[in-house]
């Protein structure tokens, strides 16, 4: 079964677009909220949405937990290929999937990679440990053929988990495919996208993300290009302030023309792996839209003001219809969440899926920039 469509067409730069369809399902958070388990879980395992932007600890990259990872696609690993669903995460740089060596309950309801069934798998003998906001994954590193969107990356190094924290039990995706810069990859692993460019599988070292508002299909990540059919006008390019994560400088955040957060400028990370918009002044932002604790009357959503993110002289507005989320047991609330980080992530804002669903986003490693354009 084909999980990707490869189209060679005349588009923005007349390149071959490699499209990987993404599927949006309920997040781990939403599943637990519906079961009435989320608040108890948060108290037992404090949720730190900016954890993956903290400094490294003993060589293990700090990453966010999966409570907000929602969009994922299908890849295959090995010979013959074994299929897995993975989150395409611009906030991390490693690829990992569960393995048959994993006995954790979190691995029990996911596809697991069997190293003995792949004739091309080679163990490196190296371990892998990634610390999450509510636990960790631990395993080992190996080499094998990884296929993404019809592109085969040979001898790609990736992780196979042998232990996964309990919260991963609720993940819809099997694993994570990181799309940040190689400089933050655990154990110095070369990321999948970098190897695509190195091996000449794609012409251009940038990729783009379209997150559909539809709960089912239509979303996609495009490797080696971007698709203007998804957006209006021109892309507005924002230079990176740090080429490790997709980090940019914001000028301010305004509501009804008044600055309510990021008053003197601040740093933000564009992250497909976080569903909400996260920051250190969210209480003030929520108050500015009339909801001090983030709770919203579901009947008054249309009357709430836009929130505007001013970046590099450009204004990017998010309407209330986009930033208010509805849950089965908790009513309506804003998609703004407070950050509690004390490390590198301190003071950072995360522009997650709430933002990216409104703006087609191009991640450009060639020019160290991100491009935004309003969706059609």
Catalytic site residues?
Answer: 89, 271
Containing H/E element for 107? Answer: helix 105-108
Cα within 13 Å of Cα(14), Cβ side = 0
* 204 contacts 15 by C-beta, under 8 angstroms: yes
Distance CA 205, CA 365 (A): 6
Residues 6+ apart with CB under 8 A from 348: 50, 53, 247, 266, 267, 268, 269, 279, 280, 339, 341
User: How large is the C-alpha radius of gyration of the chain?
Assistant: 20
Distance CA 93, CA 156 (A): 13
Interior angle at CA 263, CA 349 and CA 305, nearest 5: 75
* 49 contacts 337 by C-beta, under 8 angstroms: yes
* 332 contacts 296 by C-beta, under 8 angstroms: yes
Tokens of 290: 């009339």
Helix (H, G, I), strand (E, B) or coil at 338: strand
Measured distance between the N- and C-terminal CA atoms of the chain, rounded to whole angstroms: 30
* DSSP one-letter code for 50: T
Containing H/E element for 254? Answer: strand 252-255
* 158 contacts 139 by C-beta, under 8 angstroms: no
Residues 6+ apart with CB under 8 A from 261: 252, 253, 279, 281, 282, 284, 285, 288
């Amino acid at each position: 079964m084909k999980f990707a469509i490869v189209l060679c067409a005349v588009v923005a730069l007349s390149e071959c677009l490699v499209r990987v369809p993404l599927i949006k399902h309920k997040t781990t958070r939403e599943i637990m909220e519906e079961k009435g388990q989320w608040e108890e879980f948060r108290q037992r395992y404090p949720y730190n949405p900016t954890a993956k932007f903290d400094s490294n600890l003993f060589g293990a990259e700090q990453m966010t937990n999966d409570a907000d990872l929602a969009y994922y696609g299908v890849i295959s690993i090995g010979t013959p290929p074994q299929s897995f669903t993975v989150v395409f995460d611009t906030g991390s740089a490693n690829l990992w999937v569960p393995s048959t060596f994993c006995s954790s309950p979190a691995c029990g309801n996911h596809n697991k990679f069997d190293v003995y069934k792949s004739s091309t798998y080679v163990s490196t003998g190296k371990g892998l440990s990634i610390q999450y906001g509510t636990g960790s994954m631990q395993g080992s590193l190996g080499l094998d053929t990884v296929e993404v969107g019809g592109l085969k990356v040979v001898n790609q190094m990736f992780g196979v988990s042998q232990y996964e924290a309990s919260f991963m039990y609720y993940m819809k995706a099997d694993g994570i495919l990181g799309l940040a810069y190689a400089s933050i990859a655990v154990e110095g692993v070369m990321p999948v996208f970098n190897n695509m460019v190195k091996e000449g599988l794609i012409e251009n070292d940038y990729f783009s993300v379209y997150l559909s508002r539809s709960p089912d299909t239509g979303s996609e990540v495009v490797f080696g290009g971007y698709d203007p059919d998804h957006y209006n006008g021109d892309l507005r390019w924002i230079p990176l302030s740090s080429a490790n994560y997709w980090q940019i400088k914001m000028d301010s955040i305004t509501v009804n023309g008044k600055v309510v957060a990021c008053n003197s400028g601040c740093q933000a990370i564009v992250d497909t792996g976080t569903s909400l918009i996260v920051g250190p002044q969210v209480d003030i932002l929520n108050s500015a839209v009339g909801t001090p604790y983030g709770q919203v009357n579901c009947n008054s959503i249309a009357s709430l003001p836009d929130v505007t993110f001013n970046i590099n002289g450009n204004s990017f507005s998010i309407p209330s219809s986009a930033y208010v989320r509805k849950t089965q047991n908790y009513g309506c609330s804003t998609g703004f969440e407070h950050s509690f980080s004390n490390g590198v992530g301190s003071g950072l804002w995360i522009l997650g899926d709430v933002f990216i669903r409104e703006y087609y986003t191009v991640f450009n490693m060639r020019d160290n920039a991100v491009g935004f354009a309003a969706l059609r």
